[in-house]
Structures are given as C-alpha cells and as structure tokens.
Amino acid sequence: MDSISHHLPTILSEGQVQVYVHGTGILLHTDFGLVVHYDVVQHVMVMVPQTYMGHLCGLCGNYSGQRNDDLQLSSGQLAPDSTAFGSAWKTMDALCNDSCSKDKCPTCTEEKVAVLQKPNYCGLLMAPEGSFGSCHRMIHPIPYSQSCIHDLCMTGGDTRVLCQNIRSYVAMCQDAGVTVEAWRTPSFCLEFGRAQGQMSPVWGWEGLQTMAESHGNDPGLAPFRVEAKNNIHGGIQSMSYVSLVNVDVYGQCISFCQNEDRKAWVN
C-alpha cells in the first residue's frame, strides 16, 4: 500500500489527530479522547473515554466493566478459551499455527523459577527496599515479576529480556506519576537504556490482530480500530514481538513501526 511518511510531531485530519514523541515512545491522541501509546520497545497501550463503555470489541475486551465477558467474539458469544479468542481477532490470513503439541511447548522447571526469582534477576522488581519499592502501592509488581520470570525462562536467561521487562515496569510507574530510583549500573542494563528489541509475552499468536475496535450504531461515537502485528520470537509460541501498530480513525490508517521512534506512516 502507498503510505506517506510523517516525521513527528504531526497533526492530521485538520487537527482531529495529533501524533508526537512521548518519552521514548510515540503517543497518538484524538479529539474524542482515544489515546494509543507505543513504546517501540514492547508495550502498546490503548485508552478510550467512558463514552465507549460497552461499545468496544477486540483483544482488549469489550469495556463492559465485567471481567468475565472479556473473551467476547464479534458475534457477541464468548470464546471457549484464549487460543480461540486470539484466533478470532486476526485481521488477515497468516500461515501459522496457534497451538503447539504437548511435547514441543516450552516449559519452565521449578528449579529455573527458583533461580529467576532471586534479586539479581526478576526478584529485583519485588524488593520492597529496592529501586522500585516506591511504586509497589501504585503498580503491583507481581504480574510484571511473573512475566519477567516466564520470559527469561523461555529465552535461557537472556539479559536483554530481563532489562526490557524491568524497563516495562518502570514505564508504567512513571506513567502513574511515581519517581523511580536509579536502577541501571555500569554492569547492569546500562546498554539497554534505548533497547532496540521488541519482546512481549502478551499473546502468542502470529499476525495482525484487532486490539480494540468501536462497534454499535451510536452516531455520537467516532469509529476507530487499533491493530497490532505480532511476530513469534524464535519459534517460541509464548513469546512475541510487536512490530507494527495501525490506528484507523477519521478515514486514515496511521502506522507505527518497530524501532522508528520519530516517524508515522499515513495512508
């Protein structure tokens, strides 16, 4: 498809859409309150105003306020499991397999978990007196520590993955207004201050999927769709790289690509 490259910041649709650099990532903001943040490292976040409550669908859920119906399909029915849910929200054909045979699925032994829970690995996130203790009351560290352990286990203890996971938690803390103490040292994660990898244990399905899309017939709600493209990391089903984010709004498709932190493509 033919797209035009825009160096950031840029204003589109006669001011209805603004895209600019935010921290080390990219932020898209519309006049009706849609916010999409892509850190071009591992995290994509979508925020919508309360007027869209009950008028969304996609991998982020339906925004009904009830967690037990988030695995909703476009038909309105609930998916039987997360694999079926992810497959249903693919937006293009992809030659991939959404499941793995039992003997080929990666595993993380109790011995590996015990090692990775230590303070010199993912346990660093949990230390109440450590660099991240000030954030624990705002952003619970357990989910991030668990994801960190899983990621490190699946990648054989790759230090880059450790640093990227810690950076993800730091970004969430900073977005919540928490000042995080210095945690990098000359021998720990210093070279990953501007990490170029794209690691996320979010989905495990390959291809382009709908994260969030407006639906319904309310004329007061502007239609939009946010998509993200996932690439399986190293053949490991549970690990993935988010390499592309598309935002369809006001008749334009605005795209952000991995490692392009000052550029947007508009079609």
* Per-residue pLDDT tens digits for 30-64: 999 999 988 776 678 899 999 999 899 888 888 88
As a whole number of angstroms, the distance between CA 175 and CA 197 comes to 21
Burial class (CB in 10 A: 0-12, 13-18, 19+), 89: buried
Convert the pLDDT of each residue in 203-228 to its tens digit: 455 678 888 999 888 899 999 999 98
State mean pLDDT over 247-251. 96
As a whole number of angstroms, the distance between CA 146 and CA 65 comes to 25
Q: Is 56 left (phi over 0), alpha (psi -120 to 50) or beta?
A: beta
pLDDT of residue 203: 45
- pLDDT of residue 142 exceeding 50: yes
- pLDDT of residue 260 exceeding 70: yes
Through-space distance between the first and last CA atoms of the chain, rounded to whole angstroms: 8
- pLDDT of residue 74 exceeding 80: no
Helices (H) and strands (E) in the chain, counts: 4, 12
Q: How confident is the model at residue 159 (pLDDT cuts 50, 70, 90)?
A: confident
User: Which residue has better confidence, 2 or 224?
Assistant: 224
pLDDT of residue 266: 94
As a whole number of angstroms, the distance between CA 74 and CA 79 comes to 10
Sheet holding 10-12, edge to edge: 10-12, 17-22, 25-30, 35-38, 44-47
List of residues 6+ apart from 33 with CB closer than 8 A: 47, 48, 49, 51
Q: How many CB atoms are closer than 10 A to CB 215?
A: 17
Question: Which amino acid, residue 156?
Answer: G
Taking the whole predicted model, whether its pTM rises above 0.75 is answered as no
